[in-house]
Structure 1
Amino acid sequence: MAVDDAVKPLRDVLTNENASLAARFRALFSLKHLASQQPAASETIPAIEAIAAAFTSPSALLKHELAYCLGQSGNDAAIPYLRAVIEDRQEDAMCRHEAAEALGALNDAGSLPLLKERWQDEDEEEVVRETFEQLKQSDFASIDPAPPLASQANAKPSIPDLQQTLLDTSFPLFQRYRAMFALRDLASPPDLPTAKPAILALAEGFKDPSALFRHEIAFVFGQLSHPASIPSLVECLSDTKEASMVRHEAAEALGSLGEEEGVEDVLKKFLNDPEQVVRESIVVALDMADFERSGGMEYATIPSQEVAA
């Protein structure tokens, strides 16, 4: 099948402002699948171009997710589009933060001057300035802003010690991220004896003064999909004084727990939230919750081998 036949229908949905947000997100993650194929296939570059084409959307939530998917593609063809987002000071800070993190995920040394400039710019948005971290491949399906703290002498770091590092604002953000991802690793798989204590330790991170840090805690909870995280996620989503970028991440994390009793009812309470990015996140989260209950394997309309070939 021709490349256009594989990518074009997905691009048409993703860039269609009249399509439902749920449909656009599913198309996006299908394009992400095509964009991140290793080795690169004939659909790879067209898929990256299709994702980037949606940066004209007025939805900050969608554009934030576009940047994330480009960073996860592992393909340098995404770099110019991500740099353009960072350089656009009229763009939403949530999107620009994600674009900066995506460049780190791509290990793009050529973007270091741009990132350093934004880091040192006192007029820059705080969440963008904080996004000057080095990323590495982890055991999860994403690329993290920092590697987990390594164990020493064959002894795993204790949860109380990791929690202390996680919450200590005197430590560099990079080191605290390492503690965060070490706690995440202790919470997966969910039947580990360390899982629930690690989740509870991570939940304390919602008290941090940095919105970016709180946002990352919610993202990690979305990766883990552990029921023990539900109370703290609900509390975060319910706090109307919380930053919208944090509440959006909490909503999507709850969407990944959609099969758990009561989660869908909680999400529906925020369908008319005053914050647009939260309202849109609820729509996506409810679609994710419906998907989780269906027992599907992948949240995307990934083409079959016959269609993609």
Structure 2
Amino acid sequence: MQLVDNPVNKFSNILQNPESDVIKKYISIFELKSLNTSQSVQALIDNFENLDNSDLLKHEVTYALGQMNTDFKYLIKPFLVKVLDTENEYPVVRHEAAEGLSNFCEEDSELLQLFQKYSESNINEKKYGLQFAGTREPAAPFEIEEIQSVKLLSELLNRKYWEKTNNLFRHEICFVLGQISKNANESIMQLKETSADQEENEIVRHEALSAYSSIADDKEFLKLFVNDPSRIVRESAVVAVGLIDYWNNK
């Protein structure tokens, strides 16, 4: 009975079950993150390969691990290094591993040497991820409070400026736009346009959808993407719709 009641086992079983949908698995990842124990860390690591090759879910696991207690560095560090070193892993998953590792790099010369090696990588999602080292949250190099100003927001949303940035930077801009409470209408318009732009990089579109769902309770718009050709985009849409229902029923 104790095993059944154990929350780590409960959420781990959901991740292991091939019949579990992407919404349940997504929620389970963040339930394990919130438990923040060595057992929940190990469960996330052990289930990384039980995610039906979903780049979205693998991305979320590496993100979650990077945000967990540094007391578990002995578990998290070798796993994220392995992900970062896996050449056939999806670039944004490796980027998230790099960003997660940066949270454990203080006074760690081994990690700093690793970052130096990959900072010269030709994979932008990984290369630029290392330039954000040392933060506990993924973010572009400006503060949420700064971007609340109409002037800075207008600069970020300027199409000419937008087109000059790389995929990762646009991904980070979308993340930040989803954190803004003021001037939300301008953010919403940009996030909707980015989500719908089939010529935009799928990682940027994924983040735009996720950010949009955090500031707009608009299931009908999100449903437009549940059959998108890009798996990470359609799974992001499915998860966003599912989370709206999940929180409304809590």
TM-score by length of 1: 0.70
Residue 128 of structure 1, aligned match among 126, 129, 142: 126
Match of 1:186 in 2: 146
SS of the equivalent of 1:256 reads: helix
Unaligned runs of 5+ in 1: 36-43, 146-176, 189-193, 297-309
The C-alpha deviation readout for 1:48-72, integer Å capped at 9, x for no partner, is 0111123213001100111100001
**2:180 paired with 1:224:** yes
Shift in CA distance, 224/52, structure 1 to aligned 2, threshold 3 Å: farther
What is the RMSD computed on CA atoms of the aligned residues? 2.4
Shift in CA distance, 201/54, structure 1 to aligned 2, threshold 3 Å: farther
SS of the equivalent of 2:129 reads: coil
Unaligned runs of 5+ in 2: none
Q: How many residues align?
A: 238
Shift in CA distance, 18/230, structure 1 to aligned 2, threshold 3 Å: same
- Preserved contact between residue 162 and residue 170 of structure 2 (Cα < 8 Å): yes
SS of the equivalent of 1:143 reads: coil
Match of 1:215 in 2: 171
Residue 48 of structure 2, aligned match among 45, 48, 55: 55
Q: Which protein shows a greater Rg? A: 1
- Code of the residue aligned with 2:118 in structure 1: it is R
- Preserved contact between residue 188 and residue 216 of structure 2 (Cα < 8 Å): no
Aligned-residue offset at 1:33: 0.6
Residue 143 of structure 1, aligned match among 132, 137, 141: 137
Aligned-residue offset at 1:104: 0.6
Shift in CA distance, 256/295, structure 1 to aligned 2, threshold 3 Å: farther
**2:84 paired with 1:100:** no
Aligned-residue offset at 1:126: 2.1
Match of 1:117 in 2: 117
Match of 1:200 in 2: 154
Match of 2:242 in 1: 287
Aligned-residue offset at 1:254: 1.4
Tell me how far apart the structure 1 counterparts of residues 181 and 38 of structure 2 sit (CA, whole Å): 32
Aligned-residue offset at 1:220: 1.2
Aligned-residue offset at 1:287: 1.8
- Preserved contact between residue 105 and residue 144 of structure 1 (Cα < 8 Å): no
